[in-house]
Structure 1
Amino acid sequence: MAKRVVPESERRRRRPTRQGAVLSEQLIVETALRLLRYHGGAGLTVRRLGAALGADPSTLYRYFRGMDELTLAIADELIGRAIRGWRASGEWRADLRGIGLRLHSAYLAHPQAAVLAASRITGRTHEATAIEAILGVLRTAGLENADAVRVYRSLVDLSLAFAALDGAALALPRAVRDADRQMWRTRYGRLTPGTHPHIAATAGPLVACMDGSAYPATLDMLLDSTASRLTRGR
């Protein structure tokens, strides 16, 4: 059952927690990110969060109605970290590429959080700021409103989808990640032209391409498509 969230003016805890900190939404979110790093999404519970903060778990309901609302706050915090310090340069392609790479990097800095929160719509301040910034770049570049929205959706979904995909890989145990990467070399890199001619013909670049994320290259493809759309429009 959802709990009643205490108004902002009444939230501030008068006494420090056992760790000597005063509770706030920001502190709770930062602590949740730390717990996600060590315990994953399944390990993020109200009880564990309360213990990490040195506060009674029920105190957390003064700030969030439940874990789902905390998840939205985590997602918005990552978006805020992505756009913090970003400024439009007036060069639409560089600006969009910069925002995309920032989003991807901010989520990948917390891979377990990326898996948990990349698909969520927060409705919060940082998300609204990011939407406004991206649409502003696209409309200033000359795209019509409908086209600007389509490119915005593609850019954000691409960035967050890759963040979730790459985050899931990073969240795996190192031995498992290494085994997955080696599979390209030990399995696909050794297939013969007689059975798999196309894989054999491209084995070198195929193995090399699978080392690292495909996100930057895919992002450039989206920007190439946007550039073509702008050229046709003019």
Structure 2
Amino acid sequence: MAERVVPPAARRRRRPTKTGVVLSEELIVETALRLLKEHGADALTVRRLGLALGADPTALYRYFRDTDDLLLAIADELIGRTLRTWRPTGDWRADLRDLGLRMHSGSLAHPQAAVLSTYRVTGRVHEIAAVETILGVLRGAGFPDAEAVRIYHAFVDQSLAFAALDAASVALPRAAREAEAGVWRATYARLSPDTHPHIAATARHLVADMRRSAYPEALDLLLTAAAARLDEIRRPPRT
């Protein structure tokens, strides 16, 4: 999609497409997510989107300047889907753990989109709401502002990094995923204790553990460290 800016007031199309569909930003993003999931990153073109929507491809410029603008909207929609399913309980640690796991699983539900978008900063409504929400949880727990921002930064970057890593793995063809998982059995589990004593001693655990995401454990470690830091902050100074 090449750069072509249409004034916002002129963007929205009122007439239905030739297939009877009335275009909207929401419909275009939903269709883009579906195409990415089914066909990968190559599907994110104005021509493919136009065909899928039954619309003249140029009509998409009424809603998005270019494919990068659309990609930011896709990233923001993934964030919005997470927020819509999350309900806070008032327990800051449990709430952040639940939110992080939902962010991660939401990315794995759309791995191709996650690979393309997890590293982007959208500045859009859902991302802004997420930043406000997470900072509110941390400040409400008692973290001073500077600490709240540092923990927010670590929490979000950890979540997005694991989302991108695991989404990239999920997006691989099944044969490639199975071949990589088999390396732990075929190679690591057969290394000699004479040359690789630590791998040999833990091989059965490696085979079992390396097939799954480490994100839940990494998230728990981060939250445990954050809780320890909060205890330090609350501890009265020594006299």
TM-score range, shorter chain: over 0.9
Deviation at 1:205, TM superposition (A): 1.1
SS in 2 for 1:83: helix
Could you tell me how far apart the structure 2 residues matched to 1:6 and 1:215 are?
42
Could you tell me how far apart the structure 2 residues matched to 1:194 and 1:18 are?
70
Deviation at 1:130, TM superposition (A): 0.6
User: 8 Å contact 1:36–1:43 — kept in the other structure?
Assistant: yes
SS in 2 for 1:170: helix
1:37 aligns with 2:44: no
Deviation at 1:10, TM superposition (A): 3.5
Deviation at 1:86, TM superposition (A): 2.1
SS in 2 for 1:84: helix
User: 8 Å contact 1:104–1:162 — kept in the other structure?
Assistant: yes
**Number of aligned residues:** 233
User: 8 Å contact 1:12–1:22 — kept in the other structure?
Assistant: no
Matches within 5 A, 1:1-150: 2-7=3-8, 9-150=9-150
RMSD: 1.1
For residue 207 of structure 2, what is the aligned residue in structure 1?
A: 207
* Identical positions, percent: 65
For residue 228 of structure 1, what is the aligned residue in structure 2?
A: 228
User: 8 Å contact 1:64–1:70 — kept in the other structure?
Assistant: yes
Deviation at 1:39, TM superposition (A): 1.9
Deviations for 1:91-124, whole angstroms, at most 9, x for unmatched residues? 0110000110111111111000010000000100
Paired residue type of 1:67 = T
Where does structure 1 lack aligned partners over 5 or more consecutive residues? none
TM-score scaled by length of structure 1: 0.96
Deviation at 1:23, TM superposition (A): 0.1
Deviation at 1:169, TM superposition (A): 0.5
Paired residue type of 2:7 = V
- Deviating beyond 6 angstroms after TM superposition, the runs of 4 or more aligned structure 1 residues are none
